Structure 1
């Protein structure tokens, strides 16, 4: 198998692992931690893939000795990666069973399962440690990340949380009983509750998991799985006898059973206001959402209606101009208050961007004011929309409570709708309000999932300078979440950010640079940034008098240099090496180390860069950095000096061989 193909398989496997979820409670903590550690390794294998691709290009133009060196590096890398792949394949099987396997089996065999988990973790740590990163020209960020993961693997050795002894004792006692023995109902209840087998669907999945084990093993030595199946049957019979209505798929849990019964009884005796009922199900709404016609429905009901292919409003029969479902937080609040005043449990809503871990402490008057502003946003009157968006912008800037209150009221989708308005002032207010709302961590994901990116990118491309600056700042704020970096990069935001970096005001350039810095932390965005012309734009900023953007520019260049296309683009830019050499001689400590980091990558792959750097007088500044720089600066200077010395020795050897050949 070619190294490039192998690395791609590793990337695909880790991506597949990141999609596995809902680990059984018995192993949830350990398996979630393992999956998280493996996901952190994605940037490593993406950079290794770039390294391998570059070697394949470089070897066509190198001498035999250099090719031999590459062959040795290739062999060592291939062995390490093959060892990691074998351990990773075992981890996939382990994690898949932890997500889909039998809960009962995992409890009974927890000791064996944890032993296997420890063995696989040790194999992953050992094979990962065997990959010699120093030879691979990895970025500092990736090397630090890998060191962190390795240390986490080492710390995890022997650390296993104590299991639920009572659960194990109950299970083993029923497991050892004969099939016809009467089992204590209290024991069966505890088992059903602790194993989360109070739902008919969960019972079916547990049964299917056991059948899958038999099918995969081909047999059942000692009848172990058969005994577990009989144990499961006892739990199922008990659950059905206690709650026969779950055959219809209704979930019964100790914490909710009494509340549901009470709610059912009380709601039947109370007249639920018609406005609180979904027009489709006629039941009280838990998660009310408003469609484009202005009608409100229960989210699940209207989603099923749309999924069935309908494109009209169920109540008015008007065509739906779009399929956006806007949460109706005002109605939800009214329903909750009505339930509380009538002694009913407040309806539990499904997870969405309005479900906050924190609560707003806005006064009723402030909430009422927000409600008035939202109605103005929906009015269609341009003056009202402009003034309302401006007020929301200021309120969101004021404090965290306001940000939560504004979002809970349903402002985000309405503000998004104003991003494409022809009125630039309204556009500025809307994008800045979203920027201020994004300061709240809960709002970052909400803004993305509500479909804000196309509108923000529109403002970034075509808005006023203030609008463009604030759009860039919004993208920076949203990109703080790693999950958003790839999404933003795929939205077409990078090219207009580079344009703002080149033509914006000083503040605009700063906003664009910080957004690009964050986005380029994701390996997949680096190529997009390079193709958008980011490298020459950054070098141009470094050449400006005073170089006020030097810190941001050289930091981003350092990241781009870890990408094959980025390295080539920097090397091809006019005056790149002289700019970097000057920076090493006279820049700030952080800029000197970043400039050296870029040169290490350029000179390691292209001898012409090494020669040019020497001609530009790099040795003096480099020796000074090696002695007086920051720790990272000293390390980078040492790497570049080693590269230069190796090149000088190679040239001496080549000259000696040439002289000997002539004399001979």
Structure 2
């Protein structure tokens, strides 16, 4: 918004000008100085006052404070508090001035919503932690949810003042309870938690408890679409955290319906976010540092649920992020004999995996090379079945390009590429089908 407005009386000018026959000068409207923000010099829409007594527009002064400044821009005095106070008097004066000058094209500024303060967040969080009934807790959680939806500023305030810890404690406290009010409360808590990720460590501790995990799995199996989505998003947070994630995985493996619920999300996707979250949880379950026999049991259970086929179907037209995670899961499944056997039976396996090399991302290429290496290295047919199929869909050329173009991959992957080329070279007298279009978008990394 500019500091002054010029309005020409065009209609009178078009009608013949003023009575004196001369052209009328454009009128100029001056904004009073005390209505302007000292930072932007624009008319204040939401005036607030700092502890120094100077008023600013809320948006401008909050940007100043968020940049790490602790002084008043005008006086350079250190602020006693970083919470600006709404200046209702100035705001009403500005609104009255706008109304008085509406004939000049000035629109009245709307009365702004007062954002939630740190003290309010702290008070609500404390009351949530002390709630004794689901309805009492639900009313308080509703206030947090409402404030969260109003503005990004509110979201930052809620995140920065430890609300996730109180919400997670409430989830843990009511996880074993039953009833419609409880389910509604837990759903709202999950919805808030998924919107303020990453969660702080103390919040994760409450969500990793057996009763909290049990309720998350319950939502994964029996919840509505939003409940399923939020539950799997929180599970992704839990298994992705570096601390105690092994215990979370151990609990999920033993909980009835947990693995089935995750696979169902791949089979019947709700949205890309839930599909990615499910793939991340499955990936961590497959590669977790359990003993080898336990890991094989987990992989075999996923294979028996048809996960190899589902992942390959997902890979056909998946977007980049989903593709990377799906390839990671497939690579994990192919670590076991049963996983490779399942992949050998899938007609899509080799064509899809080779297709993803050099086409999606460096991470996708690394996973694809690893999958291809696992499948070709363990091929025991005399006619080279899988190896010949890889040659037919252009694997040799793509692998050679990885080395020749200088694709940015680590030495471990380059070693697999070299070994694969040697394996493929043994069967190069077989028919090769090269799809030149695979390389049309390839760019050199230098």
TM-score by length of structure 1 reads: 0.38
Asked if residue 509 in structure 1 is aligned to residue 264 in structure 2, the reply is no
Alignment of 1:162-177 (within 5 A): none
Asked if residue 369 in structure 1 is aligned to residue 124 in structure 2, the reply is yes
C-alpha contact 2:124 2:140 (8 A) present in aligned 1:
no
Deviation at 1:516, TM superposition (A): 2.2
Provide the C-alpha distance between the structure 1 equivalents of 2:197 and 2:177, rounded to a whole number of angstroms: 15
> Which of 546, 557, 561 does residue 330 from structure 2 map onto?
557
Structure-1 residue corresponding to 2:235: 475
C-alpha contact 1:535 1:557 (8 A) present in aligned 2:
yes
Deviation at 1:461, TM superposition (A): 1.6
Deviation at 1:584, TM superposition (A): 2.1
Deviation at 1:419, TM superposition (A): 8.1
Structure-2 residue corresponding to 1:581: 354
C-alpha contact 2:165 2:203 (8 A) present in aligned 1:
no
C-alpha contact 2:165 2:202 (8 A) present in aligned 1:
no
Alignment of 1:409-420 (within 5 A): 410-417=169-176
Provide the C-alpha distance between the structure 2 equivalents of 1:648 and 1:636, rounded to a whole number of angstroms: 18
- The C-alpha deviation readout for 1:152-192, integer Å capped at 9, x for no partner, is xxxxxxxxxxxxxxxxxxxxxxxxxxxxxxxxxxxxxxxxx
Provide the C-alpha distance between the structure 2 equivalents of 1:447 and 1:589, rounded to a whole number of angstroms: 34
Provide the C-alpha distance between the structure 1 equivalents of 2:134 and 2:205, rounded to a whole number of angstroms: 28
Provide the C-alpha distance between the structure 2 equivalents of 1:547 and 1:363, rounded to a whole number of angstroms: 39
Deviation at 1:473, TM superposition (A): 1.1
Provide the C-alpha distance between the structure 2 equivalents of 1:618 and 1:437, rounded to a whole number of angstroms: 40
Alignment of 1:450-469 (within 5 A): 450-469=210-229
> Which of 157, 162, 165 does residue 402 from structure 1 map onto?
162
C-alpha contact 2:308 2:339 (8 A) present in aligned 1:
yes
Alignment of 1:19-30 (within 5 A): none
C-alpha contact 2:175 2:186 (8 A) present in aligned 1:
no
- The C-alpha deviation readout for 1:236-287, integer Å capped at 9, x for no partner, is xxxxxxxxxxxxxxxxxxxxxxxxxxxxxxxxxxxxxxxxxxxxxxxxxxxx
Structure-2 residue corresponding to 1:428: 187
Provide the C-alpha distance between the structure 2 equivalents of 1:396 and 1:621, rounded to a whole number of angstroms: 47
Q: Secondary structure of the equivalent of 1:399?
A: helix
Provide the C-alpha distance between the structure 2 equivalents of 1:420 and 1:400, rounded to a whole number of angstroms: 32
Alignment of 1:253-264 (within 5 A): none
Asked if residue 634 in structure 1 is aligned to residue 414 in structure 2, the reply is yes
| Alignment CA distance shift 1:437-1:391 (3 Å) | farther
Q: Secondary structure of the equivalent of 2:133?
A: coil
| Alignment CA distance shift 1:465-1:561 (3 Å) | same
Asked if residue 569 in structure 1 is aligned to residue 342 in structure 2, the reply is yes
Provide the C-alpha distance between the structure 1 equivalents of 2:390 and 2:325, rounded to a whole number of angstroms: 23
Structure-1 residue corresponding to 2:376: 603
Asked if residue 379 in structure 1 is aligned to residue 128 in structure 2, the reply is no
Asked if residue 519 in structure 1 is aligned to residue 271 in structure 2, the reply is no
Structure-2 residue corresponding to 1:489: 253
Deviation at 1:380, TM superposition (A): 5.0
- The C-alpha deviation readout for 1:595-641, integer Å capped at 9, x for no partner, is 11101111111242112222333221121123233235432211211
Deviation at 1:564, TM superposition (A): 2.5
> Which of 402, 408, 412 does residue 625 from structure 1 map onto?
402
Asked if residue 533 in structure 1 is aligned to residue 303 in structure 2, the reply is no
Deviation at 1:579, TM superposition (A): 0.8
Deviation at 1:504, TM superposition (A): 1.5
Aligned residues: 284
| Alignment CA distance shift 1:467-1:548 (3 Å) | same
Provide the C-alpha distance between the structure 2 equivalents of 1:576 and 1:415, rounded to a whole number of angstroms: 45
| Alignment CA distance shift 1:556-1:416 (3 Å) | same
| Alignment CA distance shift 1:514-1:484 (3 Å) | same
Deviation at 1:415, TM superposition (A): 4.1
Provide the C-alpha distance between the structure 1 equivalents of 2:175 and 2:285, rounded to a whole number of angstroms: 22
Provide the C-alpha distance between the structure 2 equivalents of 1:589 and 1:493, rounded to a whole number of angstroms: 31
Structure-2 residue corresponding to 1:71: none
Stretches of structure 2 lacking an aligned partner (at least 5 in a row): 1-116, 149-153, 430-446
Provide the C-alpha distance between the structure 2 equivalents of 1:419 and 1:385, rounded to a whole number of angstroms: 14
Deviation at 1:475, TM superposition (A): 0.7
Provide the C-alpha distance between the structure 2 equivalents of 1:595 and 1:419, rounded to a whole number of angstroms: 46
Deviation at 1:545, TM superposition (A): 6.7
Stretches of structure 1 lacking an aligned partner (at least 5 in a row): 1-361, 650-664
Provide the C-alpha distance between the structure 2 equivalents of 1:490 and 1:541, rounded to a whole number of angstroms: 27
- The C-alpha deviation readout for 1:267-317, integer Å capped at 9, x for no partner, is xxxxxxxxxxxxxxxxxxxxxxxxxxxxxxxxxxxxxxxxxxxxxxxxxxx
Provide the C-alpha distance between the structure 1 equivalents of 2:204 and 2:128, rounded to a whole number of angstroms: 22
TM-score by length of structure 2 reads: 0.55
Provide the C-alpha distance between the structure 2 equivalents of 1:459 and 1:407, rounded to a whole number of angstroms: 17
| Alignment CA distance shift 1:487-1:646 (3 Å) | farther
Deviation at 1:571, TM superposition (A): 2.3
| Alignment CA distance shift 1:546-1:433 (3 Å) | closer
Provide the C-alpha distance between the structure 2 equivalents of 1:553 and 1:431, rounded to a whole number of angstroms: 25
C-alpha contact 2:217 2:258 (8 A) present in aligned 1:
yes
C-alpha contact 2:357 2:369 (8 A) present in aligned 1:
yes
Alignment of 1:91-106 (within 5 A): none
Q: Secondary structure of the equivalent of 1:573?
A: coil
Alignment of 1:248-327 (within 5 A): none
Provide the C-alpha distance between the structure 2 equivalents of 1:616 and 1:437, rounded to a whole number of angstroms: 42
